[in-house]
Chain A
Amino acid sequence: MTKHMTRKATRHISQNEGLIFEKSSPGKAAWKLPPLDVPEVDTAKLLGKQERKDLGDMPEVSEIEIIRHFTRLSTWNYAIDLGMYPLGSCTMKYNPRVNEFVARIEGLANGHPYQAEKISQGALRIIRTLSDCLLEITGMDAITLQPAAGAQGELTGLLMVRAYHQSKGNARKKILIPDSAHGTNPATAATVGYAVENLKSNERGMVDVAALAAQMNEDVAALMVTNPNTLGVFEQEIAKIAELMHAKGGLLYMDGANMNALVAKARPGDFGVDVMHLNLHKTFSTPHGGGGPGSGPVAVKKVLAPFLPTPVLITKPDGTLGFEYNCPQSVGRVRAFYGNFGMFIRALAYIFANGPDGLRQTTEDAVLNANYIRKGLEGVYDLPYSTPSMHEVVFSDRLQSKKGVKTMDLAKRLIDYGFHPYTTAFPLIVPGALMIEPTESEPKEELDLFIEAMKSIAEEVEEDPQYVLDAPHNTRISRLDETAAARKPVLRWKPEGKAV
């Protein structure tokens, strides 16, 4: 690092590695099947013209090559296990290893979704226990764990909103969404057949209650809020907001993306929320895994319970657990089987490891960390909203953009300092946003290093903006040509000489 030195990262040797197809050669194998204990079959006779003769360009490699291939690839990734991952609204917290261990216990990992309920009681007990914990944490009445991710949770929640209004004879026409909302919110509303109406934020970055009162009418099915919102600000008038919605028969939907600021400190069910989704991969420590799998349970108040997706977990008269498939008002199924069960195990293990006291301390530390960063960088970076921060803080690149350096450039330079970038260019109400969420998992030392790095980058912008614009300088590859990738997409490998 030729400019400012960093205490966190040093260059080290990184292995080159081609595509697996480039290592392939006929006759190499990493597999061995046991001898067949039934008669061999004549595949041509059994399958006729449906028999496949050739698997094309599938690779042929040995086991050691596979281990090295993926191990080398892995070393090109940044990860929570390597350091702070301050992506705002993503809650990149520690993923405990006991979660992984228990999810792989034989009998849990190998259960077939259609095996008799009699031999599924353990799995069902896990679903029930996690459901009970999440209901207590959210203060809601009923829950489904079926949605496979946050966006599918939103879809499920709004399908239920629609079914609820439909049951009253009028599905209503639109969903109100604050301008600070994540893009999935309007996307979901549209998918469910609702028109989206924008709700402007006030000068403090919160829902403008007067504007809401003016916009709320009997055409509005629900308001979708994120609380704390994407600025990391708690909607202080949330009770009033709920009242306004309910007075005109509307519902209050809460996007639980930022639940890490509330667990054990406040419950959405207590401040008027009717329906919400959680992200087990954010708040409850299941791993992001490079982009999934997630899990997006939806919790609701009693009035919405009849509309939960099928099947619904019930306790049978004999005390055993089972699924009820006959739910006439249900919105239907959103996924085959029961959801991402493997994630339920991990989330429950996380709740067990914390208990009530641990979850409270976790939330307090997450909020303390965000405010410590805010204090450390105030004045160095522009803070567009001075409203108190909860678990994340949003700066802007206003000061640095005067030198032509934008939030994405600052983010790329942060990579050289050994940190993953924060979230850039979101929320939309902050031009050039730097959205920083440290989570509770960072020690004070790591936060100090981060603040030091951000200050150092701000100095670099003043001294030599071009150097920052050219970042990253120390990664395996420099900035990639995304325009070329989108204009002429190359989405798969082909052997040389073969047309794509």
Chain B
Amino acid sequence: MRYLPKSPADRAAMMQAIGIRSVDELFSPIPANVRLTRDLVIPRQMAESEIVDWFKQRAKENGEGYTSFLGAGAYSHYRPVVIDALVQRGEFLTSYTPYQAEFAQGTLQAIFEFQTMIAELTGMDLANASMYDGSTGAAEAVMMAVRVTGRHSAAIARSVHPEYREVLNTYATHQAIPQKLVSFADSGRIDLKELERAVSDDTACVLIQSPNFFGTVEDVEAIAEIAHKRGALLIVSIAEAASLGIVEPPRTADIVAMEAQSFGVPLGFGGPYCGVLATKEKFVRQMPGRLAGQTVDKNGKRGFVLTLATREQHIRREKATSNICTNQALVALMVNIFMTVYGKVGLRELAKQNLAKAAYAADQFSKHARVLFAGAPRFNEFVVETSEDPYAINSRLLGHKIVGGLPLKKFYPELGHTALWCCTELTTRSMIDTAVGLVAESERSVRSMQETAEHEVVR
């Protein structure tokens, strides 16, 4: 076996040193009746070339060369090649959690830089070293708000990513956190009047997403005012991190729960991604997740350590307040490198291109179909309503190697024939024009069918 570094002679010498004749003796603590005496029924040992071939075959079955208009919490942005060049360095790839700080300064300093940039971008005082993903990050933020306020219920916008809300439900069930769902208004933004009614003196937090699931930018300040007036915290979930280049960050929020996948993390069929929590300084001891902090060594030299470890679940044991015992260090490193590459100016220019592409696409779609929620600002996603079921349109688009927008009926039955479309800097004008053309065709054919039907009736 090519990963195993021992010759038969090595093994023999080691067994002799231990004083055994067969390696089976070492397994004698396992009762004989549960010892496996046959081969596992799994594929036979493969050569490296066979492994590569097998996975290339699977990639082919996945359909290659498609143009995609999908977003909805997983975004297709260009990944600078330096990211993979650097994260594949063995010193990053094959090191453990940096508990032994003297021997892990590289990882620790990188985390410190990551925390700084996330805090800066989100408009918060500080950020942690990352969470599993945006969905669990949002759920942990709600649990954190319950700890901070000593209150027990939460008001959740329906325009928060539906799968994030599902995860929150799973987490909240056994934490006894009742939730009030707050619907969206015609603008696509949260219904402020309904929110006002939903927030009470027992509300620990209001959870919104901005840009929300429909791509609409919320009026964070107005929402913060409603929450704060009753002593509740405001949690803002951000699924599309690239928006922070051009959209004002939620500075009035108390906690920001972000999914940073947009920053250099491959779509990868949904994971691994990179959640992160950012918050105000006063709440740091209630925040879950790892934190790197700056300190000095015996000689006064600057260095970094994991700190405030007593918040972490493996130390608190049954008094634990969160379910995170790790972070997403390597993915956070991708995010870190991406933020460094684009930096202060590039992130803004990148976000501007996203904004322009989505604005152009929405404009084109609106000539043939209805674009919903036009009244409020949006970033790089928008909702298009068609006469035909978007599933049917999408399966026709697939024939043109186009993956259309996400049909929303599954999550929002009342939205009927709508789909969520996304454009990023990678979406070309010709791709947009082709997709719009095909949707227009669908609209025309439905209309002419209707006209024919009306004509029949008249006759």
Chain A directly contacts chain B within the complex, with at least one CB pair under 8 Å = yes
Within B9-25, which residues are at the interface with A (CB < 8 Å)? 10-11, 13-15, 17-19, 23
Q: Is B166 an interface residue (CB 8 A)?
A: yes
CB distance from B130 to the nearest CB of A (A): 7
The CB with the most chain A CB atoms within 10 A, among B115, B164, B329, is that of B329
Contact B314 A187 (CB under 8 A): yes
B35 in contact with A266 (CB, 8 Å): yes
- Hey, what's the 0/1 contact readout for A69-109 against B, CB within 8 Å counting as 1? 11111111111111001010010101110101111111111
Q: How far is the CB of A347 from chain B (nearest CB, A)?
A: 12
Binary CB contact string for chain B from 3 to 46 against chain A (1 if under 8 A, 0 otherwise):
11110001101110111000100111111011110011111111
- Nearest residue (CB) in B for A293 is B272
Nearest neighbor of B43 in chain A, beta-carbon distance: A352
Q: In the complex, what residues of B have CB within 8 A of residue A412's CB?
A: 100, 102
B412: min CB distance to chain A, Å: 15
Contact of A489 among B86, B307, B339 (CB under 8 A): B307
Whether A41 sits at the interface, judged by CB under 8 Å, is yes
Does B193 belong to the interface (CB within 8 Å)?
no
- Least CB distance, A405 to chain B, in whole angstroms: 17
B377 contacts which of A46, A56, A70 (Cβ < 8 Å)?
A46
In contact, B93 and A100 (Cβ under 8 angstroms): yes
Give the docked Cα–Cα distance between A292 and B304 (Å): 19
Given contacts A81-B91, A288-B95, A371-B26, contact A150 B266 (CB under 8 A): no
A19 near B245 with CB under 8 A, answer no
Closest CB of chain B to A71's CB: distance in Å?
Answer: 7
Shortest C-beta distance, B26 to chain A (Å), equals 5
Q: CB-CB < 8 A to B328: which residues of A?
A: 292-293
Given contacts A37-B429, A77-B104, A290-B95, contact A352 B267 (CB under 8 A): no
Looking at the assembled complex, report how far the CB atom of A155 sits from the nearest CB atom of chain B, in whole angstroms: 5
Residues of chain B within 8 A (CB-CB) of A349 are 51, 55
Contact B30 A234 (CB under 8 A): yes
Contact check, B133 vs A148: say whether CB atoms are below 8 A apart. yes
Q: Which residues of A contact B345 (CB under 8 A)?
A: 29, 55, 60
Contact B59 A106 (CB under 8 A): yes
Check A37–B326 contact: CB distance below 8 A: no
Provide the residues of chain A in CB contact with B50, threshold 8 Å: 352
Assembly CA distance A40 to B2 (angstroms): 56
Is A404 an interface residue, CB under 8 A from the partner?
A: no
Contact in complex: B64, A486 (CB < 8 Å): no
Interface pair B344/A58, CB less than 8 Å apart: yes
B296 proximal to A (CB < 8 A): yes
The answer for the CA separation of A266 and B6 in the assembled complex, in Å, is 23
Whether the pair A87, B270 counts as a contact (CB closer than 8 A) is no
- CB < 8 Å: which of A152, A189, A489 contacts B318? A189
- Is the beta-carbon distance between B68 and A77 smaller than 8 angstroms? no
Known contacts A119-B62, A353-B2, A365-B4, A292 near B113 by CB under 8 Å: no
Interface string of B231-251 (1 = CB under 8 A from A): 000000000000011111100
A101 to B292, CA, bound (A): 30
Q: Which chain A residues border B428 with CB–CB below 8 Å? A: 37
Cα–Cα distance between A115 and B180 once the two chains are bound (Å) = 31
The yes or no answer to B229 lying at the interface (CB within 8 A) is no
Which of these, A59, A118, A287, A343, contacts B93 with CB under 8 Å?
Answer: A287
Question: With contacts defined as CB atoms under 8 Å apart, how many contacts are there between chain A and chain B in the complex?
Answer: 671
Give the residues in chain A near B303, CB-CB below 8 Å: 477, 480
Interface status of A341 (Cβ within 8 A of chain B): yes
Looking across the interface, which residue of chain A has its beta carbon closest to that of B100? A421
A window 239-258: CB within 8 A of B:
239
Known contacts A355-B45, A420-B103; decide if A79 and B90 are in contact (CB<8 Å): yes
Closest partner residue, chain A, to B61 (CB atom): A122
| B308 within 8 A of partner (CB) | yes
- Tell me the chain B residues, 185-234 only, with Cβ under 8 Å from chain A: 217, 219
A369 contact set on B, CB distance < 8 A: 14
Query: Which residues of chain B are near A61, meaning CB under 8 Å?
Result: 340, 343
List of A residues within 8 angstroms of B104 by Cβ = 76-78, 290
Q: List the one stretch of A214-222, A332-340, A395-403, A460-468 in contact with chain B.
A: A332-340
Interchain nearest-CB distance for B387 vs A (Å): 21
Residue ID in chain B nearest A115 by CB atoms: B403
Q: Is the CB of B4 within 8 A of A102?
A: no
Q: In residues 95-122 of chain B, which contact A (Cβ within 8 Å)?
A: 95-98, 100-107, 109-110, 112-113, 115-117, 119-121
In the complex the two chains form, is B90's CB within 8 Å of A122's CB? no
Decide: A121 and B62 in contact? CB cutoff 8 A. yes
Cβ–Cβ < 8 Å partners of B272 in chain A: 148, 292-293, 295, 340-343
Contact, CB under 8 Å: A70 / B110? yes
Interface centre among A101, A106, A132, A478, by most B CB within 10 Å?
A478
Which of A122, A196, A362, A485 sits near B295, CB closer than 8 Å? A485
User: Which of B147-155, B352-360, B449-457 interfaces with chain A?
Assistant: B352-360
Q: Which of chain B's residues has its CB closest to A193's CB? A: B174
Whether A289 is near chain B, meaning CB under 8 Å from some CB there, is: yes
Evaluate whether A480 and B101 lie within 8 angstroms (CB atoms) in the complex, with A59-B344, A116-B398, A485-B295 already known. yes
Q: How far is the CA of A472 from the CA of B72 in the complex (A)?
A: 49
Q: Which of B34, B102, B175 contacts A477 (CB 8 A)?
A: B102
Chain A CB within 8 A of B320 CB: yes
B448: Cβ under 8 A from any A Cβ:
no
Q: Which of B336-379 contact A (CB under 8 A)?
A: 337, 339-350, 352-353, 355-357, 359-360, 377
Q: B217 — which chain A residues lie within 8 A by C-beta?
A: 47, 50
- CB contacts under 8 Å to B, within A424-457, are 440-444, 447
Shortest CB-to-CB span from B298 to chain A, Å, is 4
Which residues of the other chain, B, contact A478 by a CB distance below 8 angstroms? Answer: 102, 297-299, 301
B237 nearest CB across to chain A (Å) = 11
List A contacts of B344 (CB < 8 A).
24, 55-60
CA distance A184 to B26 in the complex (A): 29
Q: Which of B48, B95, B136, B301 has the most CB of A within 10 A?
A: B95
* Nearest chain B CB to A240 CB, angstrom units: 10
Complex Cα distance, B68 from A193, in Å, reads 42
| Least CB separation from B272: chain A residue | A293
Residues of A within 8 A of B57 (CB): 122
Cβ-neighbour of A148 out of B95, B132, B249, B318 (below 8 A): B132
B 59-91 contacts with A by CB, 8 A: 59-64, 66, 68, 70, 72-74, 76, 80, 82, 84-91
Given A66-B341, A81-B90, A477-B105, the answer on whether A151 and B323 have CB atoms closer than 8 Å is: yes
In contact, B85 and A67 (Cβ under 8 angstroms) = yes
Q: In this complex, what residue of A is CB-closest to B59?
A: A107
Q: A123-B58, A440-B4 are in contact. Are A265 and B36 (CB under 8 A)?
A: yes
Chain B nearest CB from A26 CB (Å) reads: 8
Asked if A484 contacts B296 (CB within 8 A), the reply is yes
Q: Which of A92, A310, A387, A415 contacts B100 (CB 8 A)?
A: A415
B415 at the interface (CB under 8 A from A): no
Cβ of A409 within 8 Å of any chain B Cβ, yes or no, is: no
Interface status of A368 (Cβ within 8 A of chain B): yes
| B271–A339 touching, CB < 8 Å | yes
If A31-B346, A159-B170 touch, whether A264 touches B36 (CB-CB below 8 Å) is: yes
Asked if A372 is at the interface (CB within 8 A of a chain B CB), the reply is: yes
Cross-chain contact of A136 among B2, B42, B406 (Cβ < 8 A): B42
Q: List residues of chain B with CB within 8 A of the CB of A149.
A: 132, 324-326
**How far is B245's CA from A119's CA once the two chains are assembled, in angstroms?**
32
Contact partners of A57 in chain B: CB under 8 A: 116, 120, 344
Most-contacted residue by chain B among A51, A75, A477 (CB, 10 A): A477
B459 at the interface (CB under 8 A from A): no
A148: chain B residues within 8 A (beta carbon): 132-133, 136, 271-272
A-B contact pairs, 22 of them (CB 8 A): A29-B345, A57-B344, A63-B341, A70-B110, A77-B107, A81-B90, A87-B96, A96-B3, A105-B52, A115-B66, A149-B325, A152-B323, A183-B317, A239-B33, A266-B30, A337-B271, A338-B271, A341-B270, A352-B45, A365-B11, A415-B100, A492-B119
6 additional A-B residue pairs with CB within 8 Å, beyond A95-B94, A332-B170, A341-B270: A24-B344, A52-B248, A119-B403, A291-B327, A293-B132, A368-B11
**3 closest residue pairs by CB, A with B:** A337-B270, A289-B330, A355-B45
